Amino acid sequence: MNWRAIVAVILLIAGGSLELLSVLGICVMRNAYDRLHYVGLAGFGALLIGVAILVRESFSLIGDKALLVGVMLVLSGPVLVHATMRSFLIREFGDWRKKLHDGEPPEDA
């Protein structure tokens, strides 16, 4: 087993663990606002797995595309979270500028 395979396996385990952690967060969090935090985390797991493929295959067709997918998922994560949070706030309060909750705990969204 050469060093490329070892680094790839380490990155693969780290990326898979991050994705499993994000699924766990989706399952155990109380409401949609809490669950949204884990969308970005899943993107970073995908990036680590993309880098693992890149380390294993070097800059080939499959390695470049794996890196592209990972970068796309990482960059789209915060945009998605922001847009989704904004739509949830508009849905609940009618305006996204209002505070999420004023002193009272939020109901399950």
Partner 1 sequence: MNEWEITAVVLGFALVPCLTVCVLATPPSALTSLQVAGVLLSTILMLLAEGFHRQPFIDLAVVLAPLAFLGSLTFARLMERNL
Q: Strand, coil or helix: what is 107? A: coil
Q: How far is the CB of 104 from partner 1 (least distance, A)?
A: 18
Other Cβ atoms less than 10 A from the Cβ of 109: the count is 15
By CB under 8 A, the residues from 9 to 48 that bind partner 1 are 9, 12, 15-16, 19-20, 22-23, 26-27, 31-32, 35-36, 38-39, 42-43, 45-46
By CB under 8 A, the residues from 44 to 103 that bind partner 1 are 45-46, 49-50, 53, 56-57, 61-62, 65-66, 68-69, 72-73, 76-77, 79-80, 83-84, 86-88, 90-91
Q: Which residues of 43-63 are buried (b: 16+ CB within 10 A; e: fewer)?
A: bbbbbbbbbbbbbbeeeeeeb
